[in-house]
Homo-oligomer: A and B are copies of this chain.
């Protein structure tokens, strides 16, 4: 079986996804082939160079033209505001769709995307890639097995520092009409995905957002452009299962480069994870003999979920690109097996629903219920 991919976008994410597709034959069952059919971007230079670098056979200018090619699936790695049109058109044409997060700039747009893919019955997947790393899959497995008992606490942070400097230029990520939100959608959405994946659905939130730098210089120009998204967001969470949580996302934390962490505490133990040491899962069991309890540093390796596909030795280490490989593997395998991929667009919609409640709470100063849409 051959799956022909069209990809829209040639930035950092485009590079990452294309690497994943090119090595996928090593990780999927015999008989499955992934073909890099066509790559689109907004200029000829971007599309042509991207096709050469990423190994696409064809390139087009403008995403609409991908449908002139024989394709099975569309991979969307554009700015957020462009996602819906592509995804909806792909679904309408019966193509499977994988799309970067957040799916769209708000719930309404996200809902349109979900309706389109579900109506079309195509495989659909949202790129919460950080849940694909084996250490996190292992955490989920331990929770599901009851290794830490009933859940009490969740806490997560996603901290970066790339725009603390007020001279860091204005880009689309600082604009609500293009990005939807700032730190919240860009990085906080990954931490929210962890919360849902590991603990369950949100009941209500209270949040604050802050924009520390109100305007930024336009690249290559003397003008400045206002920033209308959050530089940072902090929230308290009540989960439906009674657990409580706190979650923070910020791009204003010097020294934190890509600091994505979570901790879950339950009635029998705890789990801790830190992306910057993404091959370790820390597990504390209250069932260990009393005089030798302690957080265990489990080096994730072939013993753990998904890892068999990767490196056979713990300590060899995986990192960012492996999250993309495992994500692509799930997408392609779901197509092959004729089942839904996980996480799906509907998962993306539930995260959008949470983010909308967060922004509303930040605006009103009140605890805000999170509508359940899954």
Q: CB within 8 Å of B: which residues of A?
A: 12, 15, 18-19, 22-23, 25-26, 30, 49, 52-55, 138, 142, 147-148, 152-153, 155, 157, 160-162, 164-165, 206-208, 210, 212, 232, 234-236, 238, 244-246, 248, 250, 252-259, 263, 265-270, 272, 275-284, 286, 288, 290-299, 301, 303-304, 311-322, 365-367
Contacts and interface: CB of A to CB of B under 8 A. Distances in A.
Contacts of A255: 265, 269-270, 272, 282, 284, 293-295
A161 B269 CA distance: 10
> Which 7 A-B pairs rank lowest in CB-CB distance, beginning with the nearest?
A258-B315, A257-B315, A255-B284, A317-B319, A294-B296, A294-B298, A319-B319
B25 A52 contact: yes
A317 B270 contact: no
Nearest to A51: B25
Chain B CB within 10 Å, residue with most, of A165, A235, A244, A301: A244
Contacts of A263: 253
Nearest to A148: B254
Contact of A254 (B253, B269, B318): B269
A299 B318 CA distance: 16
A256 B276 contact: no
Contacts of A266: 254
Given A164-B265, A257-B299, 9 more contacts: A18-B26, A19-B26, A25-B53, A153-B252, A206-B236, A254-B286, A256-B265, A276-B279, A294-B297
In the complex, the count of this chain's copies comes to 4
B15 A26 contact: yes
A128 B245 CA distance: 27
B25 A23 contact: no
Contact of A313 (B248, B257, B322): B257
Contacts of A252: 152-153, 265
Contacts of A232: 152-153, 244
Nearest to A267: B164
B234 A254 contact: no
B256 A234 contact: no
Given A12-B311, A313-B257, A248 B246 contact: yes
